Each structure stands twice: as C-alpha cells, then as structure tokens.
Structure 1
Amino acid sequence: LLGTMSAIGTALGPSLGGVLIASLGWRAIFLVTAGLGVVAMILARRFLPGDQTATILRSEAQGVGPRFDILGTLLLALTLAAYALAMTAGRGHFGGTNIALLGMAVLGAGLFLYAQRRVASPLVKPALFSDPVLAPSLAMNGLVSTVMMATLVVGPFFLSRALGLDEAQVGAVLSIGPVVSALCGVTAGRFVDRLGASAMVVAGLVLMTIGCLALALLPGLFGVAGYAAAIMLLTPGYQLFQAANNTAVMANVDKNERGVVSGMLSLSRNLGLITGTAVMGAVFAFTVGTGEVGAAAPEAVAGGMAFTFAVAAGLVALAVAIAVVGGLRKRR
C-alpha cells in the first residue's frame, strides 16, 4: 500500500510538472512543492503518533536511557553532503573538485564507522553492516535506484529531442510508469506474501532486466509505443522488488531497530538516485557525444538512450547476482 501511494504521487509529478512548465514556467514547480511540503508537515504533526518520541526526549533530558548520537549524526550529514556535491557539481564534468569531494565522502564514511564502534548509543549499530540479509539488500536497493533514476534523467531528453514531444506530452508519457506501478502495488505485495520474499526479489530484478533491455531496443523501433511497452515491463518489476526486498529486511529486524533499518533502506535508495543522476547522465552524455544534450541530434539522443539502458540492464543483472548469492548463503 505504501508503494502504491508513493507511485501515485510519482505519477502526478511528471504530468503536473509538464503542465506547470508549459503554462507558468519552471519556477512554479518549486513554489508548488514548497506548498505541498507545508501541507505534509501539518498532516504529519496532526496524525503521526508522537508519544514514544516524546518519552525518549524526556528520558534524554533527565539523563536516563540512551543519548542521541550527535557526533554520528554530524559525520553522516557531512559525508552525505560531500557525496551529493561530488555527484552533482561541475555540470557533467567530473574534475578535481568532484574528486576532492568524493575523497571527503570516503573519509567521512570511514570516520562515521569508526565512531559508531566507540559510542555507547550509536546511530547505527555496527553489527547491522554485516547482517547477511541487510547488507545485500542495501546494495541491491542502491543499484536498482541508480537504474530507475535513468528513466527520469534520460527519458525526458529522448522523448523531447528524439521523438519531438512537447513538455505536457513528455510529462504524460513519464507518468505511465508510476501509474502502472500504482496499479500493481497491492498485487506485488500479495505475490510476496504467497511466494516468499527471496524468490520475488529475484523475479522482480529479472523483470527489471528485461525492461531495461526493452528500453534499449523498443523505443528506437516503435517510438512512444515502444517506450511505453518497455516501461510497463520495468516498473512492475521495480514494484515487486521493492515489496519483496523491504519485506525480507524488516522480517528479520528487531522491533527496536526497525526505524533505523527503514532509514538505511531509504538512505541507500536516495544514494542510488543521486548516483544515477550523475553516472547514468554521464553515460548518456558521453554516448550522445556532447554535454549540451538539449541541442544534440535526434539520432544521437536515440543512440545514447539505447546504450544507457544497456548499461542499466547490466547493473540490474549485477543486483540479480547479489540476490542469488545471498540466497545461497542463507541456505547454507
């Protein structure tokens, strides 16, 4: 159900964004997003339970119970900020600044892990990083998110430059995937409950691999119809993977650690999205042959689209290998 609601929101984003850009300009998107954020904050304040959080805060204020890991939080925030800047700074050119920021991110990650092993109440328990279920799940989650970001980074350029669609039409086509994902979200959950999370993780990833290969081949042959058909393969696989992966992880987590593990899943997904923006965008731009993709020839954009999703298929195949190896280890 959570996946379905998330997909509904994702479906509305591209279509409404296309209409807003076409009618009011790109600034309208951020104004609307700010308003929606305020509404979400009010709803969260009104409906989400806060008794447990209030109890924890009172205990900390009185010196009772675990203390909040301020050092770990600061190190994690600085590490993530450095990594995000390393992946996005430079407008497509990975230069010395990006390398320095990436080095800072690696150093920050090392310091974070070092600190977590030495504080009384770590932000993340070190044992979680070696968990036989969680560690592969985080890796797969990051790879899958990297691939899914390619549909948002590369897809609009292909639809507008190679197929000649306008902003509203691009938004409508981009909404196909989230709509399909929303429709199959509950069904994916039922498959996971009946057939098991491990098998459905592999099934979802295999379907995603087929979808990526279809995106590499069909749009160039059949245009919008080919793009839509490929997306209709990719997004159900993604929804099935998400439902199965989250179920597999949360089923083996202690009740007191569910919040942290859920946050780690979200973090791996967001890191994948950041990486996908930079890496898949760079692969696309390199194949197109210019950093100014908006001015590239339609044939070059179509070729870049095909190569990028061939690479994406390889990344998902790597995730399949991780899932299979992880399943074999659990059987032993």
Structure 2
Amino acid sequence: MLSPPARALPSAVLLVLLTGGCAATNASATSADPPGTLKVVATTTQIADFARNVGGDKVSVHQILKPNVDPHDYEPSPLDIQAISEADVVVKNGVDLERWLDPVIAAAGFEGPVVDASQGLRIRKGDGSREEAAGDPHVWHDPRNVKLMTAAIEKAYAAEDPADAAAYQANLAAYNAKIDALDADIAAKIQSIPADRRKLVTNHDALGYYIDRYKLTFVGSIIPSFDTSAELSASQISDLVTKIKAAGATAVFSEASLPPKTAETIGREAGVRVVAGEDALYGDTLGPDGSAGATYLQMEEHNTDTLVNALRGTAA
C-alpha cells in the first residue's frame, strides 16, 4: 500500500509537534516525494543505509538517528513522530537497541509493517543484566548478518509495493555482491596480522560479531557493556590495565561516537598505543557524510584498515 493519507495524530502528539517549533512542520511540507515513492522510516544510521541501498530511487528514507548519536538512549523529535505517522514501512535494528521506539510508534498511530531486521539472526548473549537481556544488538558488524537484514527489508518493500518488486530484488542482489566482496576483503586483511597480535581492547563491547567472524581475541572494553551509558569503576580500570599487560595487547581503540579520555588514560597506564581521533573506530553509528565511516561499506573498511595497521605495528 503506497502513500496512504496521513494518519490522524493523537492530540498529545499534535501538541508536541505544535510546540516543537516550525522546523518540523516546514521540513515536512517542503519534502514532497515523487508520486508512488515508498515512505520508509529507518531508526539507526546503518539501517537507513541498508534501506536506501535496497530501495534505490523507489523509496524515500527518513533516518531517525544522526551520525555519531548514541542509539541506546535516544529521544525522538517531533519530525520523527510525524514521519512515522506518515510512513509505509518502519525498519528497526532490533535486539532491544531502540528501546524508545515502540511507544513512539503507538503515539504516532502507525499500524503498518515494522521490520525487525534482526529476526532470524543468531544473537550473541549478554551478561544477564537488564541492559543486555536481549543480547548483543551490534549485529551489523558481521557482513553475513547484513545480507539477512537487507533480505528482510527487500521482502517488506516488495509486499508493500509489488509493482517495483523486481527493482528491489535487483538492488538487493547488487548490494549482496558488495557485501560478499567486503567480507572476503576483511578476512584477507585480518589474516595478515600475526596470530599473536590479533587482540582487541575497545571503548565498549560493540565489535563482538566482528571478533567472532574474523577470529580475533577480545581482551576487554573500557565500558563493560553493550550499552554506552555504563561506566568502569576505578578497580575495573585497574583490572583492565592488568589484562592488557597480561595478554600482550598492543593498542586500545577508541570509537568516533565516544570521548577518548578514558581510553587515553588506560593506554597510558598500560603502556600501549591509543587509536583515536580520525582513526577512531565506528562502533554504534556511521559517521557523517565525507567521513571514513559515511556508509556501512566504508565503515567496515575503515575499521579493518585501522585495526590491521595498529595491530601489525604499521603506520596508519
């Protein structure tokens, strides 16, 4: 069902939209899409990238999360609420990453398909805490998962817009070829690192799927959780420094969306290199346009090249 009439927003949501300033109203009024365009709302930067690649010029994607914004604890804007109310399809990452989404969908009165891109994936277990009860949400760091995620998106598009099903299938096939090439390239580059140097210390536990896929060793993380709101205690920092020294890890990797201060402290105490700044990894989110992590493919290539250069001891 393409471009249904705008659903009536509940009065509480209308109040939010009206008091949220003119920006949301004006943006909605000036962003007319060509007739027949499938209106898609995508939650995270990665999901939006997948949604665009599968949809091509047949879809208009409203991306909720902006680059380098923490997806774990986000508060949607009035424009996000209105976009959901007018959408044909909503796509989310799942695995409880967007804990804020369901109430917003209900408030917006959206009754269309919500694609949980994580359905059918093998989810890494958490530590049993409330924050990690659903498991590790960073599923996109294994390219094989991305192929399943984009297939779910293509299926939803074709169901809502059968007239353009062939276009979505062709887009999916083309993107799958790029994902397969990426996967093979990462594997070859990781194999170039001496086996005893394939050890990772990161800002937070966001690269578990990548580590599992490419047979790296996870030494520890500065934030001891999948959720970036968690923090290390002084004793945990000391324990992590001890682990780094005992494991013979050679670098601590900061992330572009997180402050590097604690990573720099731990690196200094452990006597190892800290990779930050322009070389920081992209963990939870893509980077802005023009950055090394502007798309999913660029993000994973950048992360891999950064890891390989640092762990092999070569210049970045």
TM (norm. structure 2) is: 0.25
Q: Which has the higher contact order (CA 8 A, sep 6+)?
A: 1
TM (norm. structure 1) is: 0.24
**Which of the pair is proportionally richer in helix?**
1
